[in-house]
Structure 1
Amino acid sequence: MNRLGFMSYNYMGWSAEAMTEEARRHGFAYVQFDPRQAVQVMDERPLSPERAEKIRGLFEDAGISVVGLSGYTNLMNPNLAKREQKLQQLEQMIDLCSAYGTRYIATETGSLHPTNSWKDCEENRTPEAWDELLRVVDRLRARAAKNGAVLLIEGFALNVLATPEQAADMIGRLGSEGLGLVMDPFNYLTQDDLHSRAQQAAMANIFERIGAHSPVAHAKDSLYGEEGFTTPRVGAGQADWNIYAALLAERLPDVPLILEHAKPEETAECLELVRKAFHHAAGK
């Protein structure tokens, strides 16, 4: 099975030392770390190279590599002043990749919704929104390429980049220098896709469209419920993990698989479900 890692925000409020000890206990090999997260290591200087090197050292001493940074923000914030502020902060984080010992930094694209970057709106589906997103991503991609880094875009069904077809189109238009994608099919699955007979084709299409450009994969779930579309922890949604595990094993076996949206007390159960899915795939 793919080697496992975790999102640092799964341990929000934990010190770096406590986080690394718990991660080592679970056998994690990787972490996707948010440089803005408070971990009691030079927290007053969150975006300094010195802090990055100290945190990297703590993880490496525990046998854990920083597979990538979490730079998630709303690239399409309709408040242009706030958008620019966040883009500049993201550029600072791109510059930190080498200090953390990684080439990768990930973000979703966000929404033009006036009050909630996790909600869709009509403006997200316009050609103008797509052109604006390409302009923003190209700016960040160029910054990443200059630093020997790679900006990884993570699609989401309610964002401007909502489909695997759009993700493939972005790579086709902007190229892969300094730009890649996150393999996270749970973000793309529609309510129709989650019907038992449709998931195989939907997930296979996602791998076909974006797999070649995805150096990192995520482990969570998809759920359409009272709150609309959400992506909870592994096992808390409607996605068929046996299908995902089989596709990872066949097409992206060397890609790190990063556990997301799991509370510390849920980690062991999530990992057991992931391992069972891979055992099921191996038995086919």
Structure 2
Amino acid sequence: MQIGIRAHDIHIFDNPEKLAISLKEHDFHYVQFAPRVSLSELTHGGTKINFGLGNRVKQAFDKQGIKIAVLGCYINIIDPDLTKREQVLTQFKKYLSLAHSFGTELVATETGSVDPTFRKTPNNFTPIKISETINVIHDLVTTAEKTGTLIGIEPGVNHPIYSLEVTKELLQAIPSPNLQIILDPGSLIMNPDDDPVQILKRGIHDFGERIYAYHIKDYIYHDNHIEITPIGAGQANIESMLQTINAEQPNAYVIADELSANKIEVSLTRLQTMAQRI
């Protein structure tokens, strides 16, 4: 079993050639790539990308045998400031048009918040806000259908698409195969008794055919939220999650998410050991 990583968890920036070499040295075969972070200066924080830059990244990664599985363009698609919202939605559509130049099919985002500071608020979960979010996603899917690309929506507890049930509602409302899900069970933990393995299993059961990739992270639940830990240092049964994915969808994209910067090598070693056992 192979595990991917967010490319920016390897701290080499604005140099795709050196980054690709380092990813190869760490034995990665695919990544999630966010120009906003990995190419911060070259792209003005991810806001300016072009076909030539995409091709440069693709060539560098191809040379090292690395696939960009997910192109990250994480934006606030329901920003209450409609001018800002329109700007970031236009940016996302630009990423869709450029995805193939980066060598990928899918551009991913979460669904944002009515609070631009992303403080927890129940206002994200109202039926009106969920419906509005679905309508915004539908517009993005129309662009994806025209460009021959895919949209990956990542549900999360502080977003309008905040649970497995609402994710099912989204997928039923937009049956297009151009809409896919990035499933991170850790991002759907609402209380200390929630089991990410069971969340994973239910997600696969309910809409597994629409899951494009999985995010995996370890955590402890503290003060009504999760705190990320190095892999193996938290309460998530990471190996059971990997076994579940491998049994249900062999060779699926599995991307280690939010790896602790000061313990990244420890996390990677533990992940790779688990993957080898599977």
TM-score, scaled relative to structure 2: 0.89
**Which 5+ residue runs of structure 2 have no aligned equivalent?**
none
Distance 1:279 1:26, change over 3 A: closer
Give 1:10's aligned residue.
9
SS in 1 for 2:68: strand
Q: Deviations 1:12-64 (Å, cap 9, x if unpaired)? A: 55222221121111100012112334548955794110110011100111111
The offset of 1:265, in angstroms, is 5.5
1:116 aligns with 2:110: no
Q: Is the Cα–Cα contact under 8 Å of residues 7 and 38 in structure 2 kept in the other structure? A: no
4+ aligned runs moved over 6 Å, structure 1: none
Separation in 2 of the partners of 1:178 and 1:199?
26
Which residue pairs with 2:35 in the alignment? 35
Q: Is residue 2:158 matched to residue 1:164?
A: no
Equivalent position SS for 1:215: strand
The aligned residue for residue 253 of structure 2 is 256
Q: Any unmatched runs of 5+ in structure 1?
A: none
1:212: which partner in 2? 209
Change (3 A) 1:37 1:278: closer
Deviation at 1:77, TM superposition (A): 1.1
TM-score w.r.t. the length of structure 1 is 0.87
Q: Which residue of 2 aligns with 1:190?
A: 190
What is the deviation of 1:228? 2.9
CA spacing shift, 1:138–1:64, aligned 2, 3 Å: same
In the alignment of these two chains, the number of paired residues is 275
Matched, 1:19 2:19: yes
Instruction: Show the counterpart of 1:85.
Output: 87
Distance 1:144 1:229 in 2: 33
Identity %: 23
Q: After TM superposition, list the pairs within 5 Å mapping 1:64-103 onto structure 2.
A: 64-103=66-105
| Contact 2:150–2:180 (Cα < 8 Å) also in 1 | yes
Preserved CA contact (<8 Å) 2:110 2:156: yes
Over aligned residue pairs, what C-alpha RMSD do you find? 2.3
Give me the whole-angstrom Cα distance separating, in 2, the residues matched to 1:123 and 1:75: 15
**Which residue in 1 is equivalent to 2:270?**
273
Counterpart in the other structure of 1:237: 234
State the one-letter code of the partner of 2:203: I
